[in-house]
A and B are shown apart, each in its own frame.
Chain A
Amino acid sequence: KNQVEQSPQSLIILEGKNCTLQCNYTVSPFSNLRWYKQDTGRGPVSLTIMTFSENTKSNGRYTATLDADTKQSSLHITASQLSDSASYICVVSGGGGTSYGKLTFGQGTILTVHP
């Protein structure tokens, strides 16, 4: 069964600190992995997308890593800001068959940044 597991479920950090969110997946065959940021009540916004051959990708203060062998990814946030408070969702594309574009979503990690 295609699954995406994220940890931790929630995280509280102080403004200016760094943090790392984890994502493990069992989706096969694998197409790509993306991280989304979702503010409360809003639609998800893409942060990074990585294919099998990419093992790191940055978007400003966000850096995602991918280990396709162990099927793990992480999202590192540097020098956190209050506006980083959101749900971060790991999404894996693939799954074979005719599931073109079908995405498997993780449950998300809720990040709260305190001043």
Chain B
Amino acid sequence: DSGVTQTPKHLITATGQRVTLRCSPRSGDLSVYWYQQSLDQGLQFLIQYYNGEERAKGNILERFSAQQFPDLHSELNLSSLELGDSALYFCASSADPTSYSYNEQFFGPGTRLTVL
């Protein structure tokens, strides 16, 4: 158990809908990362938040948005869903995002999103 929790574990929805994925980081970790893992692709970095502020952006679509709240939990919002958005969405947390540290990330169990 990494200490990172994600809810829900599974989500089934229809095209055009909007969903919210939730992540609680490990106790004491200030940084949260979101990743997408599709069947035919590896892990794709979406976005990073550090202590409530956006820190880095990866391949995140405009239909997707995220935020980190004062209690450090984070939500990933996916809107106007398409079939291709079906994937595993992982959240990870780390204590310190600076590049000179090990910056080890601990991954949650993931949310499996199925868009029908």
Interface positions of A (Cβ within 8 A of B)? 31-32, 34, 41-46, 49, 51, 89, 93-94, 98-108
Question: Residue B34 at the A interface, CB < 8 A?
Answer: no
Contact residue among B92, B102, B110 (Cβ-Cβ distance under 8 Å from A42): B110
Specify which of A31, A98, A103, A104 lies most central, judged by the most chain B CB atoms within 10 Å of its CB. Answer: A103
A104 to B43, CA, bound (A): 9
Interface positions of B (Cβ within 8 A of A)? 2, 4, 31, 33, 41-45, 48, 50, 55-56, 58, 88, 90, 92, 94, 97-100, 102-110, 112
Contact between B48 and A43, CB atoms less than 8 A apart = no
A49 to B108, CA, bound (A): 19
Contact between B45 and A103, CB atoms less than 8 A apart = yes
CB distance from B7 to the nearest CB of A (A): 14
17 contacts between A and B (CB under 8 A): A41-B110, A41-B112, A43-B2, A43-B4, A43-B92, A43-B110, A44-B107, A45-B107, A46-B105, A89-B42, A93-B99, A93-B103, A100-B99, A101-B97, A101-B103, A102-B45, A107-B41
For A105, list chain B residues within 8 Å (CB).
42-45
Contact between A100 and B107, CB atoms less than 8 A apart = no
Contact between B45 and A107, CB atoms less than 8 A apart = no
Contact between B43 and A44, CB atoms less than 8 A apart = yes
Contact between B33 and A101, CB atoms less than 8 A apart = yes
Contact between A89 and B107, CB atoms less than 8 A apart = no
A49 to B48, CA, bound (A): 20
4 A-B pairs with least C-beta separation = A43-B107, A101-B97, A107-B42, A105-B43
Contact between B56 and A101, CB atoms less than 8 A apart = yes
A107 to B41, CA, bound (A): 7
Contact between A34 and B110, CB atoms less than 8 A apart = no
User: In this complex, what residue of B is CB-closest to A101?
Assistant: B97
CB distance from B49 to the nearest CB of A (A): 10
